[in-house]
Structure 1
Amino acid sequence: MSKQEFGTLTDRGNPMSYLRTFLPWIVFAAVPSGDWQWGSLAALAVAVVLIAQQRRAGAGFDALVIEAGSAVFFAVLAAIAFTDPHSGVHDYSAALSSGTLAVIAAASLAVGRPFTLGIAKRTTPREYWTMKPFVRTNVIITAVWTAAFAVTAVALAVLDHAGHAHTMPATLVQIAGFVVPMVFTVRYVAHVQAKARAAAGHVAR
């Protein structure tokens, strides 16, 4: 594999791809907590639109793991919220959101289909999809996202239990839960590319 090919293979740290994937969760977090039923409904609508758009673009369901999981989660949450707006689930909705993402991400690793692989496939030629460097890079990135979601869920659950649900500290924890793995993704991809270029340069000499 040439360094150009490997660069194409691993040039998947584009934050916009991840922002689109996690857009339903961003929308839900942006809606005031007092309107959580409308926030969950809006997030569900966004998830459904994203799935429809990606399916029309030719994406398989293996590339829509997060979006599909998002749709299911927000459908259930919206049903609970509209049935009982004062449900105790409301206080733990942020922790449940991160916990759900952790479970989805972990499940994608367990079945050998890391969810970031699906994101990368959207812009990577099909002949690269089964190459070991491509798969290995995405396994590592997905593992970091999984850990970040799990840590965020635990931290939010602790805050929620202490009566600090939907406060500024909780919001900052949620933001960190996305920003930290995103920064890692961008930097790790850059690191992999740099190593590939160095190795290719060494072979050329």
Structure 2
Amino acid sequence: MNFLKSFVPWIAFAIVATQFDWRWSGLTGLVLAAGLLVLARREGRKADTLIIELSALAFFVLLTAVAFSFPSSPLKTYTGALTDAWLALTAWGSILLRRPFTLGIARTMTPPEMWDNPVFKRVNLIITLVWALSFTITGLAGIALLNYAPHATAALIALKVLGFAVPVAFTIRYPRIVQARAEKAA
């Protein structure tokens, strides 16, 4: 569950956005993303374990710059959905580059002799695909909801929770399922 702290800036951003102006939620995400990266580097974590953190820093730098430069920008309405869209691009990009973002994280919890195992790589590709699909669906659904039912707060919150909970549950369960199958076959 260590990987969940990678999402702290995104979660804090979402919480602060419900109470304050988007400038302050963007700045909150930026400060937390930068702080997480500093802590991770002090811990000696390598770049392949920090894809989500690096993506968060880039997103929150851009968002904060836009929010403070153009506080009444129409983007303000869509920031929640834009976070999902950005994370979807991050996940899909990591897949296209053949470096699924979950792979680096999984290596921190797996013995080095497993890292080149095709099953290990495939499991992480599938997990990253689930995250990418979830972010994509949540982003598109969020944009649609904000466009057609902007005051459907409960639906937006449910969408966010599901869009995060489903891939978290899959990330936890899927490797166990694959391992159980392998042990049964052996």
TM-score by length of 2: 0.93
Q: Deviations over 1:58-92 (max 9, x none)?
A: 22212211110110001111111122322211111
Matched, 1:102 2:66: no
Kept in 2, the 8 Å contact 1:144–1:181? The answer is: yes
TM-score by length of 1: 0.85
**Partner residue, 1:198:** 184
Distance 1:194 1:86 in 2: 53
Of residues 120, 133, 152, the one that matches 2:138 is 152
| Paired amino acid for 2:153 | T
Q: What does 1:38-77 correspond to in 2, within 5 Å?
A: 38-77=24-63
Distance 1:52 1:114 in 2: 22
Q: Deviations over 1:127-183 (max 9, x none)?
A: 322221211110010001100000001100101111416722111111111001111
Distance 2:135 2:28 in 1: 22
Of residues 159, 162, 166, the one that matches 1:173 is 159
Identical residues among aligned pairs (%): 42
Q: 1:166 to 1:55 in 2, by over 3 A?
A: farther
Q: What does 1:125-164 correspond to in 2, within 5 Å?
A: 125-164=111-150
Matched, 1:28 2:13: yes
- How many residues align? The count is 185
Cα RMSD after superposing both structures: 1.5
Q: Flag structure 2 segments of 5+ consecutive residues without an equivalent.
A: none
Matched, 1:83 2:69: yes
For the pair shown, which has the larger CA radius of gyration, 1 or 2? 1
Kept in 2, the 8 Å contact 1:92–1:165? The answer is: no
Higher relative contact order (CA 8 A, sep 6+): 1
Kept in 2, the 8 Å contact 1:81–1:90? The answer is: yes
